[in-house]
Amino acid sequence: MNVEIMRTYTYRVAWLYDQGKKIHKEAAMVKLFTAETLQGILSSAMPIHGGYGYMMEYPIQRFRWDGRLFTITEGTSEIQRLIIARELDL
């Protein structure tokens, strides 16, 4: 369900951008939501794989570390929250 929400919202923001709209708030919202949701998905996936989920030889561990970068690069989650608050005049 969350993956579908991420996909749909990303497409909506891309469509708004194509229409020439200002999307500062929406872009920050989609980046924050997808990065945070991905962290939740990966956290749930780790125990499903048992010990293999924590071994560097298996892809799930690499996905976990790669996914963590989304909350750090392209603006941290805190920065995305600040952008959203600024756009909402909070």
Active site residue 78: no
Residues 53, 51: Cα–Cα separation, whole Å: 5
Kindly name the residue from 4, 36, 57, 74 that is annotated as catalytic. Answer: 74
DSSP structural state of residue 58: S
Residues 10, 33: Cα–Cα separation, whole Å: 10
Counting every residue, how long is the chain? 90
Which residues are known catalytic residues? 74
